[in-house]
């Protein structure tokens, strides 16, 4: 068991592309850690650098107490699951799982026994003599996991472990992976571009953009207190409402008529006339059908679109400050063309200035928020 420490990690590719930019990160022992970001943000390069498949241009990688920056992948004691699983097509399931032990020159009997043990713990009994081509996607994923586990490494690295599964299987595999990681207690880093996956599985996560870590925190922290506009817009299955405005006294003015009180924890840090972005998640807006007292502390306007999300609906409101999305509970949906208001719930509104977060949102998350570096 071991934690992972990255310091000043930089990776330059020939041709001037900088995939990682002086990146620092601390992953605790036994943690289930997600690297999240849009494609091209460097998350896979980071994972491959930890594995040793890429060599860092500058900076260091420590696993446990050992500096592994210059060690080849095979001597870092990591197990890796690749996005395409990379199962050897000419070997049976047993031989695939036992491959790390074959490299370690263990005897045939010992290898097969170990492989059978790991396979059985992942529900792969009965498939041992098959070849990867004869397995379903979910089975292939579990064989890849079993192979990574076989040599009992100190760290697991998973590259987009769920992206090759179909949607229903993905949910199952999510639960399975999370439970497996908890049982094994091995430090695990996984890469994903799907924010829902990171929120659902990770103990902590790093949101990456352009080779840098924009924010590190628990899923709850990152969801409720996104450190920057980028993180705010990237996290959440329904994107956060982000509306430009201006500070006036105790209020934020968005457009002509929408005047909202300053969110908690922002007073004193702002001056009159400051240009800000007001952020509120669609889930944290209450929809009201009456339009009395329009503009005072609410977004008011005509309902443009109503999208059914199953147990709720996403309502698009044409408010004075711009389009506002509101999640409305079952049975209370307005019809398109109705007028209505949306009121931010207390303590949920966020204010961004120069792309960075100004307030803490006022909820109980302020204590341990490990903030990443802020841009600008």
Rule CB under 8 A: say whether 73 interacts with other proteins: yes
Helices (H), 151-288: 167-184, 195-201, 219-224, 229-234
Give the shortest CB-93-to-other proteins separation in angstroms.
13
Toward other proteins, which CB reaches closer, 130 or 296?
A: 130
Q: With contacts defined by CB under 8 A, name the span among 97-105, 179-187, 193-201, 352-360 that binds other proteins.
A: 97-105
- CA 115 to CA 285: how far, in whole Å? 52
Stretch that binds other proteins, among 60-68, 94-102, 269-277, 311-319 (CB under 8 A): 94-102
Q: Name the nearest CA neighbour of 207 among 375, 12, 8, 1.
A: 375
Question: Does position 107 bind other proteins by CB under 8 A?
Answer: no
Which CB sits closer to other proteins, 25 or 150?
Answer: 150
- Is residue 168 near other proteins by the rule CB under 8 A? no
Across the strands, what pairs with 253?
246, 259
Q: Does 15 bind other proteins (CB under 8 A)?
A: no
From the list 22-30, 99-107, 192-200, 228-236, the region that binds other proteins by CB under 8 A is 99-107
173 binds other proteins (CB under 8 A): no
Residue 176 lies near other proteins (rule: CB under 8 A): no
Pick 91 or 196: Cβ nearer other proteins? 91
Q: Which is nearer to other proteins, 144 or 232 (CB)?
A: 144
CB proximity list for 175: less than 8 A, separation 6 or greater: none
Taking the C-alpha atoms of residue 113 and residue 150, their distance in angstroms, rounded to an integer, is 11
84 binds other proteins (CB under 8 A): yes
Window of 29-37, 68-76, 268-276, 286-294 that interacts with other proteins by CB under 8 A: 68-76
Does the protein bind other proteins through residue 72 (CB under 8 A)?
A: yes
State which of residues 88, 125, 152, 330 lies at the interface with other proteins (CB under 8 A): 88
Q: Which of 1, 13, 74, 269 binds other proteins (CB under 8 A)?
A: 74
Q: Of 9, 4, 7, which is closest to residue 31 (Cα–Cα)?
A: 4
Three-state secondary structure call for residue 20: strand
**104 binds other proteins, rule: CB under 8 A:** yes
Q: Which residues lie below 8 Å from residue 247, measured CB to CB, with a gap of 6+? A: 253, 262, 270, 271, 272, 273, 274, 276
Q: CA-to-CA distance for 71 and 75, rounded, in angstroms?
A: 6
Contact with other proteins (CB under 8 A) among 51, 149, 235, 350: 51
| Residue 125 contacts other proteins per CB under 8 A | no
**99 contacts other proteins (rule: CB under 8 A):** yes
User: What string of DSSP letters covers 234-247?
Assistant: HSSSSPPEEEEEEE
Strand pairing partners for 302? Answer: 318, 339
The helix, strand and coil proportions of the chain, stated in percent and rounded to the nearest 5, come to: 25, 35, 40
Residue by residue, DSSP assigns 32-46 as EEEEE--TTSSHHHH
The answer to whether 306 and 315 are in contact (CB under 8 A) is: yes
Examine residue 103 and tell whether it contacts other proteins (CB under 8 A): yes
- Quick check: 130 and 92 in contact, CB under 8 A? yes
Q: Tell me how far, at minimum, the Cβ of 6 lies from other proteins, in Å.
A: 18
Q: Cβ(54)–Cβ(12) under 8 Å?
A: no
Q: Which is nearer to other proteins, 163 or 238 (CB)?
A: 163
131-160 binders of other proteins (CB under 8 A): 131-134, 147, 151
CA-to-CA distance for 215 and 229, rounded, in angstroms? 11
Shortest CB 120 distance to other proteins, Å: 21
Q: Which stretch binds other proteins (CB under 8 A): 84-92, 202-210, 223-231, 233-241?
A: 84-92
CB 26 to other proteins: min, Å: 23
What is the distance in angstroms between the CA of the first residue and the CA of the last residue of the chain?
A: 37
Residues that bind other proteins (CB under 8 A): 51-53, 72-75, 78-80, 82-84, 86-91, 99-100, 102-104, 131-134, 147, 151
């Amino acid at each position: 068991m071991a934690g992972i420490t990255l310091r000043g990690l930089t990776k330059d590719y020939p041709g001037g592309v900088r995939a990682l930019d002086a990146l620092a990160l601390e992953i605790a022992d036994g943690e289930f850690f997600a690297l999240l970001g849009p494609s091209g943000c460097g998350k896979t390069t980071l994972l491959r650098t930890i594995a040793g498949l890429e060599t860092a241009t500058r900076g260091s990688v420590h696993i446990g107490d050992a500096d592994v920056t210059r060690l080849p992948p095979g001597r870092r004691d990591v197990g890796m699951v690749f996005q395409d699983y990379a199962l050897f097509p000419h070997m049976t399931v047993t031989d695939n799982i036992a491959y790390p032990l074959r490299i370690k020159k263990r005897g045939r009997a010992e290898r097969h026994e170990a492989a059978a043990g790991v396979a059985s713990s992942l529900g792969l009994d009965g498939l041992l003599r098959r070849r990867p081509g004869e397995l379903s996607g979910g089975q292939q994923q579990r064989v890849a996991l079993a192979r990574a586990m076989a040599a009992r490494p100190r760290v697991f690295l998973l590259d987009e472990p769920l992206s090759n599964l179909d949607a229903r299987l993905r949910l199952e595999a999510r639960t399975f992976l999370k439970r497996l990681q908890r049982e094994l207690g091995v430090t695990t880093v996984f890469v994903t571009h799907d924010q829902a996956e990171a929120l659902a599985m990770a103990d902590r996560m790093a949101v990456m953009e352009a080779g840098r870590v924009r924010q590190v925190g628990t899923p709850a922290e990152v969801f409720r207190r996104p450190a920057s506009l980028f993180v705010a817009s990237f996290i959440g299955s329904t994107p956060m409402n982000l509306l430009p405005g201006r500070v006036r006294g105790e209020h934020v003015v968005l457009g002509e008529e929408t005047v909202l009180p300053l969110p908690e924890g922002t007073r004193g840090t702002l001056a009159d006339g400051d240009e800000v972005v007001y952020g509120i998640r669609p889930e944290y807006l209450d929809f009201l059908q009456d339009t009395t007292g329009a503009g005072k502390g609410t977004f008011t306007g005509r309902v443009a679109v109503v999208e059914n999300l199953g147990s709720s609906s996403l309502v698009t409101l044409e408010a004075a400050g711009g389009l506002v999305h509101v999640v409305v509970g079952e049975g209370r949906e307005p019809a398109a063309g109705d007028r209505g208001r949306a009121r931010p719930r207390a303590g949920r509104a966020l204010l961004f200035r120069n792309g960075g977060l100004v307030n803490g949102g006022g909820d109980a998350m302020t204590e341990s928020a490990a903030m990443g570096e802020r841009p600008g």
